Amino acid sequence: MTFQVPSKDVLPQFPVIIGDQRLTRGGGQTWSHIYPATGTVTAEIGLASPADVDAAVQAARAAFPAWRALSGDKRRDLMLKMAAVLEQNVPGLAELMTIENGSPSLMAPYMVLDAIQKFRYFGGWADKIHGQTIATWGGPAHDYVAYEPYGVVGAIVPWNGPLFAATMVMAPALAAGNCIVVKAPELAPYTVMRLGELFLEAGFPPGVVNVVAGGADVGEAIVRHPGIDKVQFVGSGATAKKVLTAAAETLKPCGLELGGKSAVIVFADANLADAAKRGLSGAMSVSGQGCVNGTRLLVERPIYDQYLAMLQGISGHIKVGDPLDKATIMGPVISEASLQRICGMVDKATAEGARMVTGGGRLGGDFAGGFYLPLTIMADVGSDNTIAQHEVFGPVLAVTPFDTEEEAIALANGTDYGLGAYVHTQNLRRGHYVASQLQAGQIHVNGSGEAMQPNVPFGGWKQSGYGRLGGEAGLHEFLQIKNVWVNLAKVEGAQ
């Protein structure tokens, strides 16, 4: 098999965008971006430095008064213009997504289309932000609540879906009247770098959106900077603890969208063909590198063997290959380090009693240069097994039988995570009841991701984070509440 070679001509050139300045390199280290499909370098990137973060924050603070004062209809129009600009750049952004993290080109355009919908949805909110009047007693008075932007939001987004995560934060934050400094992840920087250019092309005032591609030092500089009013972090729980520690110095509010170990509960009365296809999606989507992916399959015992056989049969038809090939369904994982970590977890799970159904170790031959793993299904996984309790972040499914509804619920809730969960049943009563008992922020009944839309709230319970992105709740995530009480008895002519 011959892999297509990504063209350097399509790569964005500006890892740092501050105000209207587009810098071909920042003040930080040089980073070699690796194309996950072949293990080869696509470009040397001059990452940002903490000094660049400071300059970006200053630009955002300078732009904030005018951006906040801009009328809602004008902010709305700019948001809709950004959606139109994104629509004109779907093919280019999709290609960058494939190059930066190996997302198959078959699915990459849908991530751009999702970004477009986010700007359309939250653009529609920009001219509809209003407060409320509260009844008072104890004398003549007028009390009202106003919702106001924080100021400058610092956004740190992950490598597994940079465009998806960045726009999930940026669209509501900007609609609410905030300015933003966003860190493009060094492992997959290209779509966020290009996004910064597109904001300027759409006519956003310089400084409203600033981009700094960088590593951990840049993220820390954003969190610690006194000019950042709120931090929105999307990533791992381990890094989130460092973010909270740094933010505690200034009691800076943080929104956290973290990892998951989402359960897929399959009852015996489910549509098994549909449930099997959807069950495999947790390992296929971004090669299992998704926080809300359903990677724990809990299957009612009477259909357990049948369901496993269906999973195995379908998995044999999933094309693993060149992510630039439109026929490829599953691409590589992000890096050599990730590949080795995932293989280590699979080995440990086997040692702890899990049974390998299909898949396993690294793919060789034509795939040897890249970071490829086959879709791996492990059966008879105990609830205390490594892959039942910890996020693998790779194309690995853990399958466990259960006997009763109560046991299924207990197994699903039996981790530290609570981001998503999935229930397959044709019994509507059961679907509603089980959803009510699951400890997770987003539940799908007979679905596998359809609720990931801009108009619905998304976020976690337990160690999957807090705060919400999406929907009206996502807008209010970036607004502060101010209460104003006016004593009318002291106002001349008010009585």
Active site residues: 257, 291
Helix (H) or strand (E) holding 472: helix 471-476
CA distance 93 to 87: 10
β-bridge mates for residue 234, sequence order: 257
CB 353 within 8 A of CB 309: no
β-bridge mates for residue 18, sequence order: 21
CA distance 271 to 287: 25
β-bridge mates for residue 44, sequence order: 32
β-bridge mates for residue 180, sequence order: 153, 209
CA distance 347 to 371: 17
CA distance 262 to 285: 14
CA distance 138 to 434: 47
Strand residues in 24-140 grouped as ranges (E): 30-35, 40-46, 132-134
β-bridge mates for residue 154, sequence order: 181, 231
The strands making up 152-156's β-sheet, listed across from edge to edge, are 21-23, 16-18, 209-214, 179-185, 152-156, 230-234, 254-257, 465-466
CB 96 within 8 A of CB 194: yes
Residue 492 CA to chain centroid, in angstroms?
A: 54
170 class by beta-carbon count within 10 Å (0-12 exposed, 13-18 middle, 19+ buried): buried
How far from each other are the two terminal CA atoms of the chain, in whole angstroms? 85
CA distance 460 to 262: 11
Name the amino acid, one letter, at 441.
Answer: G
Name the amino acid, one letter, at 400.
Answer: T
